[in-house]
Amino acid sequence: MKHVSLTLAASLAITASAAVADVTVDVLSINRDSTPWLGLYTDAAASYEAANPGVKINLQFMEDEAFKQKLPTLLQSDAAPDMFFSWSGGVFYEQAEQGFLRALDDATVSEWQQELSAGGMAALSHNGKYYGAPEASQNVAIWYNKDHAAALGIDPTAIKTYDDLLGAVETAKAGGVTPFVVGGQDKWPLHFFYSLIAMRIMGQEGMAASAAGDHGGFNNDDWVRAGQEYMRLIELEPFQPGFMGVKYDAATGLWGDGAALFHLMGDWDLGASRGAATNGGLSDDQLGVIPFPMIEGGKGAITDTLGGASGFVLTKDAPDEAVDFLKYFMGVEVQKAAASGGVYIPTVPSAGGLVEDVILKQFAAIGGASTYHQLFLDQFFGSELGGAINDVSAQMATGDITPEAAAELLEETRAFQ
């Protein structure tokens, strides 16, 4: 009998069935405490258990930063989960190269490629091997509160340039409304600003050149300008007081409670903000979404998007039952339920048309029109460089590093990782 249970205080274990099982599949995910997410996950586990009485699915959740920090240790221990959430990208590549993951057999890959998103499958492959299945596609955009916008006389849909956005920030400040809420303590929400500014300035070719170390890598005029433009925003003090002491979960609760005009965040925030808010969150009628605006002289496009292709991967000692559950969990039936329930935008092509929520439809439209999709930089560049990008995003926000020093630090990290 196999049963490994995490005892970390930061995790929340939800056992879908109390029955004694022949095999227990431990599933570790980032925090899914909002009602739509949690309901989808627990319903999927219960349905699978009902059809497979010898298997128990042990769902476990961690807050994002705790997940990132503790997963490397877990993967090297006897407490490793059988499958876990992955943002794909460089961190996933490192895990595959270090031998922590179980590759899927050719028959399973061939079958899944008929049902699941080709791009999503590719995101969870490395060096010709596939290690998991895609769940959702994500895009980051600027959410806005229609009530605040109307009271301030701001039309967010008219924001086309970065200067327009900064003007709206100033108007909000003058009107006594916090322009943006952000979970600065986690750093990655701040890296969205720095990343999108960089993308708008240098475009796809420039971002690729940075990754390859061309034109000075990160230590060039474009990255310095990205930091300078970021600092133009920071100097307006756009965030809520004490933002560096606030984590993402608390920040999204503030957003759901109507504490700001804007929120730069991904489509997953719809359920997260409502789950974290004290009053059920903002209704669809109170919400709007716009893409991050263009920057004067930039080489990027308004249709260039930042986001992810997330899913679940298997660990090296995962039993065959974990593969079978992964197939169900990331398969068409569950993804259609996610789409129709407004939980997330699925990667299964046949489920996409079932997205009914008007806000998620706007995000789906942004993704559908994307001319270049950049994976979250803190995931794309791997743990060291990605972590450095998060760090300098936070350090610039607190005035502890200059744009020039940030660019130099990033290039040093890229060159020596």
Q: Tens place of pLDDT for every residue, the chain, 417 residues?
A: 333 333 233 333 333 333 446 899 999 998 776 667 888 999 999 999 999 999 999 999 998 888 988 999 999 999 999 999 998 888 899 999 999 999 999 988 888 887 777 777 888 889 999 999 888 878 999 999 999 999 999 999 999 999 999 999 999 999 999 999 999 999 999 999 999 999 999 999 999 999 999 999 999 999 999 999 999 999 999 999 999 999 999 999 999 999 999 999 999 899 889 989 999 999 999 999 999 999 999 999 999 999 988 899 999 999 999 999 998 998 888 888 888 887 888 877 666 677 888 998 898 888 878 888 898 999 889 889 999 999 999 999 999 999 999 999 999 999 987
Same domain? For 146 and 128 the reply is: no
Phi-psi region of 281 (alpha: psi -120 to 50; beta: other; left: phi over 0): left
Same domain? For 157 and 42 the reply is: no
Same domain? For 225 and 289 the reply is: yes
Same domain? For 71 and 97 the reply is: yes
Report the domain count for the chain.
Answer: 2
Q: Are 352 and 339 in contact (CB under 8 A)?
A: yes
Same domain? For 237 and 378 the reply is: yes
201, two tokens: 């300035």
- Alpha carbon distance 239, 228 (integer Å): 18
Tracing tokens 């398969």 back to the chain, one arrives at 331
DSSP code of 235? T
Same domain? For 230 and 265 the reply is: yes
- Alpha carbon distance 33, 274 (integer Å): 10
Same domain? For 284 and 196 the reply is: yes
- Alpha carbon distance 227, 391 (integer Å): 13
CATH of the domain at 323: 3.40.190.10
DSSP code of 16? S
Q: Which domain holds residue 49?
A: 2-138+309-371
- Alpha carbon distance 73, 400 (integer Å): 30
Q: Are 244 and 394 in contact (CB under 8 A)?
A: yes
Same domain? For 215 and 268 the reply is: yes
Same domain? For 168 and 96 the reply is: no
Q: Where are the beta strands (DSSP E) in 298-340?
A: 304-314
Q: Return the half-sphere exposure (C-beta side, CA atoms, 13 A cut-off) of residue 11.
A: 23
147, two tokens: 């009530």
What is the tens place of the pLDDT at every residue in 16-50? 333 446 899 999 998 776 667 888 999 999 999 99
63, two tokens: 């807050």
Q: H or E element: which one contains 177?
A: none
Cβ burial of 250 (10 Å; 0-12, 13-18, 19+) is: middle
Phi-psi region of 90 (alpha: psi -120 to 50; beta: other; left: phi over 0): alpha
DSSP H stretches of helix in 98-155: 106-115, 118-123, 146-152
Q: List beta partners, residue 137.
A: 309
Q: Return the half-sphere exposure (C-beta side, CA atoms, 13 A cut-off) of residue 172.
A: 30
Same domain? For 54 and 66 the reply is: yes
- Alpha carbon distance 191, 264 (integer Å): 10
pTM to 2 decimals?
A: 0.81
What is the tens place of the pLDDT at every residue in 92-116? 999 999 999 999 999 888 888 877 7
Same domain? For 43 and 58 the reply is: yes
Same domain? For 199 and 259 the reply is: yes
Radius of gyration of the chain (CA): 21
